[in-house]
Structure 1
Amino acid sequence: MSEKSWWNAYLERKHGAGLVALTTEVEELSHCHVISASGKLTIDSSPELLERIRESLKRTTCLKLDLKGVHYIDSSGIATLIRGLKLAQEQSAGYVLVDPSPKVLAVIELSQLQDFFVIEPSTEASVPQP
């Protein structure tokens, strides 16, 4: 068994089969892009989200990450959220975490990053300022 398949088998045993992947959808509104993520934000799935963030920031000055469907996040996922914020700041774009799930919010708070991010309860809130 390869190292990658061994690791995925371990994760499936620990967290449940079918819960390894992260899915993302981008909604391009006239004033803002909303990236909705669901699943697990881990070392394996973080590059996909970071690429979506990069692509969206090329086309908008307002980005919201809807995290209500993310039920698991590891340190790589947190690093991806931070990197996304840095990319947005470099481009003078607004960057908001929207409705993080209780588990994601707990990790953000445990990491003492709740004041580092703008966190809103829904995508209907105001447009973030850069």
Structure 2
Amino acid sequence: MNSALHIDLADTRGQTAALTVSGELDLTTFGALDRSLEDALSEHPTLILDLTGVTFCDSSGLNTLLRLRRRAQDTGGQLVLAAPPPQMLRLLTLTGTDSIFALYGSLAEAWSAHPAPGAPPTT
């Protein structure tokens, strides 16, 4: 099984950054996820994670997202999940965490819901 994890900065707008996450969020990659997103949170209190490329997420990955969500909230920001794949969405639903994350069907929907301050409304 390939458990490589890739996290790339897609865009920044004011205090918000969008990152694309691909690969597996599991026991072997949660440390890298935690470090990368912690670094991003130090510069951008609100993070939008485009999860389109995530192929698997287990409890280690979910717990890391929950910790990072709390860190973002502690700094006045938010952790937003965009386009979680079906397996991950099922995990979020089964654990009841789908109700505590801001979930969007696409990165574009997430940006529309979390525009940069002073940005013109999208049409």
Mark yes or no: TM-score above 0.5: yes
Q: CA RMSD in A?
A: 1.6
After TM superposition, the score normalised by the length of structure 2 is: 0.84
1:79 corresponds to which of 46, 53, 63: 63
Matched length:
112
Unaligned runs of 5+ in 1: 1-11, 13-18
Say yes or no: does 1:92 pair with 2:76.
Answer: yes
Number of the residue aligned with 1:29: 12
1:124 corresponds to which of 99, 108, 118: 108
After TM superposition, the score normalised by the length of structure 1 is: 0.79
Which is higher, the Rg of structure 1 or of structure 2?
1
Which structure has the highest strand share of the two? 2
Number of the residue aligned with 2:121: none
Matches within 5 A, 1:29-48: 29-31=12-14, 32-48=16-32
Give the % identical residues: 28
Amino acid in structure 2 at the alignment position of 1:127: H
Number of the residue aligned with 1:108: 92
Number of the residue aligned with 2:43: 59
C-alpha separation between the residues in 1 aligned to 2:38 and 2:105?
23
Number of the residue aligned with 1:70: 54
C-alpha separation between the residues in 2 aligned to 1:61 and 1:112?
24
Amino acid in structure 1 at the alignment position of 2:96: Q
